[in-house]
Amino acid sequence: MGRLNVNLCGIELDNPVIPASGTFGYGYEYAELFDINCLGTFSFKGTTKDPRFGNPTPRIAECTAGMINAVGLQNPGVEKVISEELPKLKKCFHKPVMANVSGFSIEDYAYTCEKLDAQEQVGWLEVNVSCPNVHGGGMSFGTDPKAAAEVTAAVKKVTTKPVIVKLSPNVTDIVSIAKACEDAGADGISLINTMLGMRIDLRTRKPIIANKMGGFSGSAIFPVAVRMVYQVANAVKVPVVGMGGVTTAEDVIEMMLAGATAVEIGAANLVDPWVCRDIINALPEVMDKYRINSLSEIIGGTK
């Protein structure tokens, strides 16, 4: 076993680096840039039961050390993901992939997860109960422990692969939601999704984003993410996948010390598409610097 290996819900990863959903498409755009098989895995574009165009544009706003997006879960729908995207991905990625799923009802989640669970390429299901962009959907499940638990239980009932529930940071008490998901059978918890944010154009006095508000991500949110990962990892027994503003190999290590078994990288990919490869390459040297023999030893190692 290598120094970078970690075990995420029973599946061995060559390293803990995982591009986050919505920043890595279905992988093949990046496969033109580098061999994406160097990744631990990646979480593919949030997939829903039906095809979605998403929100009107502009969908993107710049912020200090970050960005806001309100894409609105644009995706071709689960049938097309299975018939078109996964076969394309198979040609360039030979490891189990993380299937990211969103829904607008408990039935939606169960339907989409059951379909993706049956795909050989899929290693884990990452259930997004937190997308802040869609009216009447996502948000409500992730902000209520009972609703989050119901989604988790419904998905668990129809699937065989590890279910990782991805939580929203836009809540008062993230620990109670994480625990509710764990009690409902979640095999892992990933966090944090984007933070609800907004920018206003001084010239037009209108919100920059057509949808008014969107998800704030990027290095600015890293301290919030570390704090929440630390809180959740100390409260649940299942593995935690940490994310939020991770940009460097040092950030990966900090996230793991906070309690993350694996680390997702999101917005940074959009600025530097090679960042995940570069972080993986940089990890051994940074580990040496901090006298870390193997990454799996430092999970939750905050003193």
Partner 1 sequence: MKQGFFEIIENIPLTDSVYKMTLKGDVSAITAPGQFVNIKLEGLYLRRPISVCDVEGNTLTIIYKVVGKGTQQLSQMQEGTLDVLTGLGNGYDLTAAGDSPVLLGGGVGVPPMYLLAKKLLAEGKKVRVILGFNTAAEVFYEEQFRALGASVAVTTVDGSYGTKGFVTDVLNTESYSHFYTCGPEPMLKAVYKASTTSGQMSFEKRMGCGFGACMGCSCKTITGYKRICKEGPVMRKEEILWED
Active-site annotation, residues: 131
Residue with Cβ nearer partner 1 (80 or 157)? 80
Site pattern 16..35 for partner 1 (x: CB under 8 A): ------xxxx---xx-xx--
Residues 276 and 4: beta-carbon distance below 8 Å: no
Asked if residues 168 and 129 have their Cβ atoms less than 8 Å apart, the reply is yes
Residue 59 found at the interface with partner 1 (CB under 8 A): yes
Which of 274, 289, 293, 297 forms a contact with partner 1 (CB under 8 A)?
274
What is the distance between the alpha carbons of residues 214 and 210, in angstroms, rounded to a whole number? 9
Q: Among residues 43, 69, 112, 130, which is the contact residue for partner 1, using CB under 8 A? A: 69
Residues in the chain: 303
Nearer to partner 1, 93 or 230 (CB): 93
DSSP bridge pairs for 11: 8
Count of residues that interact with partner 1, criterion CB under 8 A: 36
Taking the complex as a whole, how short is the minimal distance between the CB of residue 73 and partner 1, in angstroms? Answer: 9
Asked if 218 touches partner 1 (CB under 8 A), the answer is: yes
Contact call for residues 174 and 231 (beta carbons, < 8 A)? yes
**Residue 116, amino acid:** L
The binder of partner 1 chosen from 13, 18, 39, 67 (CB under 8 A): 67
Q: What does the DSSP assignment read for 239-259?
A: -EEEESS--SHHHHHHHHHHT
Hey, what amino acid is at 85? E
Q: Site residues (CB under 8 A) for partner 1?
A: 22-25, 29-30, 32-33, 45, 53-54, 56-67, 69, 71, 74, 208, 218-219, 267, 269-274
